[in-house]
Structure 1
Amino acid sequence: MPRPRFEKLPPERRAHILEVAAREFGALGYEGASLNRILEKAELSKGAAYYYFDDKADLFLAVVQHSMEQLMLVAQLRPEELRADTFWDVARATYRRQFLIFRQHPWLMGVARAVWTLPAQLREGGPLAVLFEQGQSVSRAILERGRELGVVRDDVPVELLVEWVGAIDGTGDRWLLANWERLDDEALQRHADLVVDGFRRLLTPAQPGGKS
């Protein structure tokens, strides 16, 4: 993770450095991205870069975290504010906002592509895994709130539900990345609706007679 001194930079300067790096990683992937090119475009000397980051991997981790924070600012769900009658409507609206943010800020989609093309051991272990665990923690809190409200099934361990949701979400993201160039705003919204409908069908408690 960035060294504490990076956080002392003005917010605009921090955001500029990370977004320049995000565009490079997004366009060329982690392996293809050039640290020297990032530093040149960010107007940052190599000495200054190592003052803030340990290496290229550390910078990439900072970019991923920054990207997740930008999405959360716009599309975050606060579990304690969810209600039974609007639970799925709020989930659908949240996913729609996320995908439209990708459209407005293509570098965010590029970072997502760079993450998904990393070798599995880099996504699932080490510092980057911490960010995925944070995402799972948010998912778990939402699912537990859904159980409290009676809109999420309670016949399956919550950790298994988290894995199921992650599988649908990851599959949806990979499809989105593969088809991104040919999707307009309407298609993005339709994809968001399909992903959330998959969650709803999987998670809604069974009704009498076995229907969900």
Structure 2
Amino acid sequence: MPLPRFECLPRERRRPLLEAALDEFSARGFADASLNRIIQTAGTSKGSLYYYFEDKNDLYLTVLHEQLRDLLPDHDSVPIPVAADTNAFWAAVEKQASLFAQRLLASPRLVALIRDALATSSPRDEASRATEQMLLPWWEDTIAAGQTAGAIRTDLPRDLLIAVAMRIGQAVDTWLLTQPPETMNLDAGVREFVAFLRRAFRPETYADVASASG
């Protein structure tokens, strides 16, 4: 993440550098991106860049984090799916996941950046951890709402359920975003994601347990 002095800059002073970096990283990927092109486009100097960022990796992760922070669901833009029954709850989850997918599709530079992050070993793990931290509050509230609606099992610790949800989401995202752009089907990805969650989180009944043990 950037040095604290960068966070203290007004947003309008941060924007030219982050926009130039987003253009460069999304077009060329982490490996082939040029810091010289970024600073030339942003109208700044290499000294200024290193005054705010430790290295190229730090700038890359900052750009990805800023883009994801604008995209990922929050309590205002994507409300917690509260519903009275199982089917209504999962329909609400699918609707909100679809909204997120549509917002992602509307940002081709971010799609390109995420594709590159998934394929680049250096920033991939750090990007994944940052994304999970941003998603954590939403998942905590969503799983709690699903348990209240009877849609999500209560026999496992909630933090384990959250970890499972994030791993499923990561697997579906990786599969989806590594498809050729012309064949990428976000609607299908959303449906598969919700279907996986429903199967993993379905509350066990006495009949299920008896059948498994018999």
- TM-score, normalisation: structure 2: 0.79
Q: CA deviation at 1:48?
A: 1.9
Q: CA deviation at 1:170?
A: 1.4
CA radius of gyration, larger in: 2
**Structure 2 alignment gaps of length 5 or more:** 210-214
- Gap change, CA 1:193 and 1:21, over 3 Å in 2: same
Instruction: Report the equivalent of 1:111.
Output: 113
- Is contact 2:89-2:146 (8 Å) kept? yes
Query: Aligned partners of 1:23, 1:206: CA distance in 2, in Å?
Result: 48
Amino acid at match of 1:111: L
- Gap change, CA 1:16 and 1:176, over 3 Å in 2: farther
Query: Aligned partners of 1:10, 1:101: CA distance in 2, in Å?
Result: 26
1:60-91 per-residue CA deviation (whole Å, 9 max, x = no partner) reads 12112101111126895444x62334422222
Query: Aligned partners of 2:187, 2:16: CA distance in 1, in Å?
Result: 29
Instruction: Report the equivalent of 2:212.
Output: none
Amino acid at match of 1:106: P
- TM-score, normalisation: structure 1: 0.80
Instruction: Report the equivalent of 1:191.
Output: 189
**Structure 1 alignment gaps of length 5 or more:** none
Which stretch of structure 1 is more off in the superposition, 59-68 or 188-197? 188-197
CA RMSD of aligned residues (A): 2.9
Q: CA deviation at 1:152?
A: 0.8
Amino acid at match of 2:50: Y
Q: CA deviation at 1:208?
A: 5.8
Which stretch of structure 1 is more off in the superposition, 54-63 or 9-18? 9-18
Q: CA deviation at 1:104?
A: 1.5
Amino acid at match of 1:151: A
- Gap change, CA 1:84 and 1:104, over 3 Å in 2: same
- Gap change, CA 1:12 and 1:101, over 3 Å in 2: farther
Amino acid at match of 1:196: V
- Is contact 2:61-2:123 (8 Å) kept? no
Instruction: Report the equivalent of 2:199.
Output: 201
- Gap change, CA 1:135 and 1:26, over 3 Å in 2: same
Instruction: Report the equivalent of 1:97.
Output: 99
Query: Aligned partners of 1:150, 1:52: CA distance in 2, in Å?
Result: 48
Amino acid at match of 1:68: L
Query: Aligned partners of 1:87, 1:17: CA distance in 2, in Å?
Result: 42
Query: Aligned partners of 1:137, 1:4: CA distance in 2, in Å?
Result: 24
- Is contact 1:22-1:110 (8 Å) kept? no
* Count, aligned residues: 206
Q: What secondary structure, in the 3-state scheme, does the structure 1 residue paired with 2:165 have? A: helix
Identity of aligned residues (%): 31
Amino acid at match of 2:71: L
Which stretch of structure 1 is more off in the superposition, 7-16 or 197-206? 7-16
Query: Aligned partners of 1:51, 1:12: CA distance in 2, in Å?
Result: 17
Q: CA deviation at 1:59?
A: 1.0
Query: Aligned partners of 1:203, 1:33: CA distance in 2, in Å?
Result: 42
